[in-house]
């Protein structure tokens, strides 16, 4: 080595090769910070999803609608099976009639639950609103 800090090579010696230090400095840096093409990109801050909070009791209403659909549909199917046995209607008509009546029962149950839940705090008044609403919806849908 000479006074300037360089190595003098003689004969068959190979110079020591070291990797440039600047090549691996950007490996962990996002492109938006290193590449001029991406420098205009703005990464918005990530926010955690907020749960939807509502005072409307959707779960009991949906549950009542499904329960009403099942009860009304199976009740109608039981009645329609007697009519199929007597030859009054065919099986296809029995199934479609049961589905229609089940949907009407589900709508009546969901509507009655929604009305009673939002208009009353339960008790006798809640029962009266439930019965009146379900009867009204059933009456309208059966026309």
What is the C-alpha to C-alpha distance for residues 91 and 85, in angstroms, rounded to an integer? 9
Q: What is the pLDDT of residues 16-35, one digit of tens each?
A: 655 555 555 555 665 555 55
Compute the residue count for the chain. 143
Residue 57, pLDDT score: 72
Average the pLDDT over 79-104 and give the result: 96
The pTM of this model reads 0.57
SS3 track for 100-135: HHHHHHHHHHHHHHHHHHHHCCCHHHHHHHHHHHHH
Residue 23, pLDDT score: 54
Q: What residues have CB less than 8 Å from 104, skipping those under 6 apart?
A: 72, 137, 138, 141, 142
| Distance in angstroms between the alpha carbons of the first and the last residue of the chain | 107
- What whole-number percentage of the chain has pLDDT above 90? 53
């Amino acid at each position: 080595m000479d006074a300037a800090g360089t190595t003098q090579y003689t004969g068959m010696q190979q110079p020591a090769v070291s990797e440039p230090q600047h090549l691996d400095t950007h490996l962990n840096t996002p492109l938006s910070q290193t590449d001029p093409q991406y420098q205009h990109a703005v990464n918005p801050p990530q926010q955690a999803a907020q749960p939807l909070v509502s005072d409307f009791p959707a779960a009991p209403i949906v549950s009542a609608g499904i329960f009403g659909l099942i009860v009304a549909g199976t009740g109608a199917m039981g009645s329609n099976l007697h009519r199929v046995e007597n030859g009054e209607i065919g099986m296809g008509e029995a199934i479609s009639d049961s589905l229609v009546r089940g949907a009407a029962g589900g709508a009546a149950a969901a509507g009655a639950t929604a009305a009673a839940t939002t208009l009353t705090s339960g008790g006798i008044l809640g029962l009266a609103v439930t019965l009146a609403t379900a009867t009204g919806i059933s009456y309208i849908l059966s026309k």
